[in-house]
Structure 1
Amino acid sequence: PVRTLAPEFMVPASNYLRRVYDIVAPFQISRGGPVILVQIENEYGAYGNDHAYLRSLTDLTRQCGIDVPLTTVDQPAGTMLEDGSLPDLLATGSFGSRAKERLAKLRDVQRTGPLMCSEFWDGWFDSWGQYHHTTLSSACELADLLEAGASVNLYMFHGGTNFGLTNGANDKGQYRAITTSYDYDAPLDETGHPTAKYWEFREVLSRFTDLPDEVPSERPVAPVHAGTFTGALALSAIADQLGEFRPSGGALTMDSVGQYRGFARYRRIFDDDEFRPSAGPHILRIGEIRDRAIVEVDGRRIGVLERMDHDQVLTFDGSPSRIEILVEDMGRVNYGPRIGEHKGIVGSVSIDGTDVPDWEIAPLDIENLMPVGEALRQAVVVENNEVTVTAPTFLRAHVTIDGPTDLFLDTQGWGHGLAWINGHLLGRYSRRGPQRTLYVPAPYLRAGENELLVFETDPAEGLSWATLAGPDLGPVDW
């Protein structure tokens, strides 16, 4: 029960906030420091309207010695501003367009006090299966905000990267996982270099204040490299070392076995003396997949279930002795009422309408690469220039460079999976796009040989690797 007064949430949240405020309090402007505002919640009006919960957070903040003005931020739409704030807090807005209209809505709710857009969306994030988002009117909207005398905080000023498995997701009727790149079409791109929007914003700001002469450097052209994979290892050959099966105990979520991100394997072995589907076509139904499942029957892949496509059903033939399901958490929902939901298999699994109990679950520790590296060193070396993958497989290659520099790993032609460089998990790639490169920052690299590891989960052929001269974040929907 997150973002509520439930003790299971409030006790650890309060302990966390006390530690944070111990650090923040000495740096308030009232004590000669740089902190001028403290925000109580973030877009809470899109999640709930429990003002007693907000009051508890506010009281805790004051008790911890925070005496600067306190704020909240919500979208100026519907009742979100009213639901997400309190009369003695300064409400601020989050929006990226129609600035004059949004400020008017904020003033309707908060008749006096400062006007502020504390989350000015000057771009937008991308989700798998959609276009790369860009915005054309951000500079005009920024000018409108400043001309109205409003304060503004840019979100984002510097684009970034959801390295590892840190990306989030949205679900407003359809689940959409956010891509690895959080470039956001921001004034500074994912690598920290200026975009056209940076220069547009600089021109707008120059109308209202003096600007320093110093400006960031343009992004240099990245080195281009290419090569082949030299080692391949099927997940099935190493999976038992990455996580052991245990009885599910009836609950099929990943959270129930302490797996909070990444992958989990599910297995059901059918004995001859129990229920076992007879020969013939069957329907396998899963209540809900969160978020992507690869299903095998007796070692044969029968299909993929995608949450974003509302998939639930696959068909198969024969009388199975074993069903295995590899489930991937594609990212936690981080906006709206679905925050805090569990991952994995939710509900029951049935065959031809009959529930199938007694599943086993094995968390897959893909962040522990030591067993994978050891096994790859013993694996058969790939002798030709093309690699074909028919089942989830780890692939290894070596990237030789003159010295550390930003690279952009080309994922075109790959299927769906993860990539590491020198043990650093760069993030997820997917043939759904739009993102077509993974950002490899210079500090992850070294002069000479660097190890590239790829976990490809989908069938693919002719796989090789390459780096490009710059990022490719996919087609743009104007």
Structure 2
Amino acid sequence: MTTFTLGEHDFLLDGHPHRILSGAIHYFRIHPDQWADRIHKARLLGLNTIETYVAWNAHEPVEGQWSWQDGLDLAAFLKAVADEGMHAIVRPAPYICAEWDDGGLPAWLFGEKAAGVRRDEPVFMAAVEAYLRRVYEIIAPLQIDRGGPVILVQIENEYGAYGSDPEYLRKLVGVTRSAGITVPLTTVDQPEDDMLAAGSLPGLLHTGSFGSRSPERLATLRRHQPSGPLMCMEYWNGWFDDWGTPHHTTEAGAAAADLDALLGAGASVNLYMLCGGTNFGLTNGANDKGTYEPITTSYDYDAPLDEAGRPTAKYWAFREVIGKYTELPDEEPEPADPAPVTSAPLPREIDLLDAVEASGTWSVLDHLPTMDEMGQFRGFALYRARIELDDAAELSLAEVRDRALVFAGDHLLGVLDRAEKSRSVQIPDGSYDLTLLVEDQGRVDYGPRLGEPKGLIGPAMVRSGKQGLGEHGLGRSGLGQPGGQLEITDWQYLTVPDDPGGLLDGSDAGRGAPPERPVLRRGRLNVDGPADLFLDTAGWGKGVAWFNGVCLGRFWERGPQRTLYVPAPMVRAGANDVVVMDLHPRPGARIATLSAPVLDQPILNPPVTT
């Protein structure tokens, strides 16, 4: 039986000192047919271990509906690691951050039953225990002492930056050990005294997360842990991107020099990220530290392997450094060929709002619902209220999470945008249906705004500075006084299907969209054979794209991301179906691919930050 334990200063593999040289690959961000390629390239870099998070909300997006399918087969991923002769570190959280929607916590956790998260609270702990036991059923038989690859399991994630509840951590440890996890347990925190003190327990290995000044960070870590191996569990060798800010890069030579200093101090390391991958679907997270900042679809992270798994300059710089501390394989990754360049029209177009309305039945409520109340935990929803006004007025919301297009009939009145801190719009007089198309642009993944509901947050008020307000559709009272205001309480809603491509099926009946109305477009892209593609979104406005029925994620002309990555396993020889939902369509839009990704286009209309 192989053993993996903690020594006085080192990890011990079968009793011998062992340095962990690890790289982060999130199986849920990489197409499963490409797992083996990314893992193999990790070994060629000189690494001996692969680390991954487990994203709870990917496996259980709806309470009680669990899946290990469609790229979520954790056991298969860990076995692929073992097949490459490498070890594995698993970080099941329950909270992962990771710039992932809600930090991996399912949105349903925060409903009416919830009393608190990331602390010792009975409702939360019951859900967490059920989740962890499912995950540990996979991990336990794949531990190193049972012939598998898993050498470490992490408890929570950067908990010292969020809370200080040692009983919560003790209960997580109890669930973990009772589920048969026998390998060493770790925690991770940024190397700051208060975070390290709050984020761990005696008996757990403290590790750090940082991306520079390694000797100083390791010294702080050692103060809090006089014995045991030193490890940077997240060596930040790059960074993620937000819509409307420049693409983040770190200079390869500087990052390699700091990695050299870290390894030279005798520490173990996990490169975060080795290959970042993609926020397929609508899985990107967001940050809000006073300004809401949704994260891009690409999670390239300026990592040693780019979003498509191709070695970068950083890969070769890191390989040279790692070669000073371990023997490198003779094999090197092959250079990547340019991706196919092709194009096609988008001949089919229908009005999105008409199509959604035709696809379902409006639900009626006597209050303003959140999208969570609708059961729509990601994506888009339509809100509608009947308006009768004698004069123009202002519509205002308490909050908009996160962006809403406001229509009076066919006419776009304006856009309410959380990042722009825009929560009101002028609406005209008359009798009409006021319709709002609301987009959840990604749930906050870090800090106190975890778990907040999405959609329109009331009250929804209509304020007039002149004539009175009519009664119909404006709530229980119609106080028509000059300068008066009323709350809209009578609402209808419809959720937008997760895959609206079906709305384009069937006959060609249905109008093209009037100007300023969102559209659904479809085209066929012919490709000679399976190959990675970089779908060019130039000429598109803002929205979501699907390729052969798979949601590639969001696009936005704002930048910095211009291309959407299409993994080769999704691509068919011959015709491939492309569906585009564009909230701000431009005439003449086409499907096109580029030979290489563009993640650093100039920023168009950056968000307001004051």
Query: TM-score, normalization: structure 2?
Result: 0.73
Question: Is the 1:388–1:460 Cα contact (8 Å) retained in structure 2?
Answer: no
- The amino acid that maps onto 1:421 is F
Query: Are 1:340 and 2:455 matched, yes or no?
Result: no
Query: Cα distance, 1:389 vs. partner?
Result: 5.4
Corresponding residue SS for 2:132: helix
Equivalent residue in structure 1 for 2:421, among 310, 315, 323: 310
Per the alignment, residue 273 of structure 1 pairs with none
Per the alignment, residue 564 of structure 2 pairs with 438
Query: Cα distance, 1:449 vs. partner?
Result: 1.3
Query: Are 1:360 and 2:501 matched, yes or no?
Result: no
Question: Is the 1:242–1:366 Cα contact (8 Å) retained in structure 2?
Answer: no
Per the alignment, residue 74 of structure 1 pairs with 189
Question: Is the 2:230–2:266 Cα contact (8 Å) retained in structure 1?
Answer: yes
- Distance in structure 2 (CA, Å) of the matches to 1:165 and 1:338: 19
Query: Cα distance, 1:66 vs. partner?
Result: 1.6
Equivalent residue in structure 2 for 1:205, among 312, 318, 322: 322
Per the alignment, residue 576 of structure 2 pairs with 450
- The amino acid that maps onto 2:390 is S
Question: Is the 1:39–1:72 Cα contact (8 Å) retained in structure 2?
Answer: yes
Per the alignment, residue 319 of structure 1 pairs with 430
Query: Are 1:124 and 2:239 matched, yes or no?
Result: yes
Per the alignment, residue 504 of structure 2 pairs with 372
Query: Are 1:173 and 2:285 matched, yes or no?
Result: no
Query: Cα distance, 1:246 vs. partner?
Result: 1.2
Question: Is the 2:525–2:591 Cα contact (8 Å) retained in structure 1?
Answer: no
Tell me: CA distance 1:293–1:124, structure 2 relative to 1, closer, same or farther (3 Å): same
> 5 Å matches for 1:51-200?
51-77=166-192, 79-136=194-251, 137-200=254-317
Equivalent residue in structure 1 for 2:164, among 42, 45, 49: 49
Per the alignment, residue 23 of structure 1 pairs with 138
Per the alignment, residue 477 of structure 2 pairs with none
Corresponding residue SS for 2:430: coil
Q: Deviations over 1:137-158 (max 9, x none)?
A: 2111211110111110111101
Query: Cα distance, 1:462 vs. partner?
Result: 3.0
Q: Is the deviation greater in 199-208 or in 80-89?
A: 80-89
Query: Cα distance, 1:379 vs. partner?
Result: 5.2
Question: Is the 1:165–1:428 Cα contact (8 Å) retained in structure 2?
Answer: yes
Question: Is the 2:410–2:517 Cα contact (8 Å) retained in structure 1?
Answer: no
Per the alignment, residue 278 of structure 1 pairs with 390
- The amino acid that maps onto 2:491 is W
- Distance in structure 1 (CA, Å) of the matches to 2:539 and 2:379: 23
- Distance in structure 1 (CA, Å) of the matches to 2:353 and 2:432: 17
- The amino acid that maps onto 2:504 is V
Q: Deviations over 1:243-291 (max 9, x none)?
A: 4321235352100111100001111113xxxxx43213x2111111111
Q: Is the deviation greater in 199-208 or in 247-256?
A: 247-256
Per the alignment, residue 106 of structure 2 pairs with none
Please tell me the root mean square deviation across aligned C-alpha atoms, in Å. Answer: 1.9
Q: Deviations over 1:38-90 (max 9, x none)?
A: 10111122221111111110111111122221111111135222221112211
Question: Is the 1:159–1:191 Cα contact (8 Å) retained in structure 2?
Answer: no
Question: Is the 1:261–1:329 Cα contact (8 Å) retained in structure 2?
Answer: yes
Tell me: CA distance 1:151–1:243, structure 2 relative to 1, closer, same or farther (3 Å): farther
Corresponding residue SS for 1:182: coil
- Distance in structure 1 (CA, Å) of the matches to 2:286 and 2:206: 26
Tell me: CA distance 1:76–1:242, structure 2 relative to 1, closer, same or farther (3 Å): farther
Tell me: CA distance 1:97–1:50, structure 2 relative to 1, closer, same or farther (3 Å): same
> 5 Å matches for 1:455-466?
455-466=581-592
Tell me: CA distance 1:226–1:29, structure 2 relative to 1, closer, same or farther (3 Å): closer
Question: Is the 2:304–2:311 Cα contact (8 Å) retained in structure 1?
Answer: yes
- Distance in structure 1 (CA, Å) of the matches to 2:275 and 2:377: 28
- Distance in structure 2 (CA, Å) of the matches to 1:194 and 1:220: 12
- Distance in structure 1 (CA, Å) of the matches to 2:398 and 2:525: 43
Per the alignment, residue 263 of structure 1 pairs with 380
Per the alignment, residue 440 of structure 2 pairs with 329
Query: Are 1:215 and 2:332 matched, yes or no?
Result: yes
- Distance in structure 2 (CA, Å) of the matches to 1:239 and 1:359: 17
Query: Cα distance, 1:411 vs. partner?
Result: 0.8
Pairs aligned (count): 465
- The amino acid that maps onto 2:523 is A
- Distance in structure 2 (CA, Å) of the matches to 1:302 and 1:326: 12
- Distance in structure 2 (CA, Å) of the matches to 1:149 and 1:52: 33
Per the alignment, residue 37 of structure 1 pairs with 152
> 5 Å matches for 1:419-438?
419-438=545-564
- Distance in structure 2 (CA, Å) of the matches to 1:396 and 1:261: 22
Query: TM-score, normalization: structure 1?
Result: 0.93
- Distance in structure 2 (CA, Å) of the matches to 1:449 and 1:26: 43
Q: Deviations over 1:159-216 (max 9, x none)?
A: 3011111111111221111111111111111111100000000000011111001222
Question: Is the 2:391–2:429 Cα contact (8 Å) retained in structure 1?
Answer: yes
Question: Is the 1:390–1:460 Cα contact (8 Å) retained in structure 2?
Answer: no
- Distance in structure 2 (CA, Å) of the matches to 1:10 and 1:101: 36
Question: Is the 1:134–1:476 Cα contact (8 Å) retained in structure 2?
Answer: no
Tell me: CA distance 1:168–1:4, structure 2 relative to 1, closer, same or farther (3 Å): same
Query: Cα distance, 1:441 vs. partner?
Result: 1.5
Per the alignment, residue 348 of structure 2 pairs with 231
Corresponding residue SS for 2:151: coil
Equivalent residue in structure 2 for 1:391, among 511, 514, 517: 517
- The amino acid that maps onto 1:89 is L
Query: Cα distance, 1:240 vs. partner?
Result: 2.2
Question: Is the 2:368–2:491 Cα contact (8 Å) retained in structure 1?
Answer: no
Question: Is the 1:389–1:461 Cα contact (8 Å) retained in structure 2?
Answer: no
Query: Are 1:417 and 2:543 matched, yes or no?
Result: yes
Q: Indicate the percent of aligned positions where both proteins have the same amino acid.
A: 52
- The amino acid that maps onto 2:187 is T
- Distance in structure 2 (CA, Å) of the matches to 1:170 and 1:425: 23
Tell me: CA distance 1:341–1:211, structure 2 relative to 1, closer, same or farther (3 Å): same
- Distance in structure 1 (CA, Å) of the matches to 2:401 and 2:295: 14
- Distance in structure 2 (CA, Å) of the matches to 1:134 and 1:447: 35
- Distance in structure 1 (CA, Å) of the matches to 2:233 and 2:368: 41
- Distance in structure 1 (CA, Å) of the matches to 2:381 and 2:193: 40
- The amino acid that maps onto 2:352 is L
Corresponding residue SS for 1:53: helix
- The amino acid that maps onto 1:411 is T
> 5 Å matches for 1:232-251?
232-251=349-368
Query: Cα distance, 1:23 vs. partner?
Result: 2.1
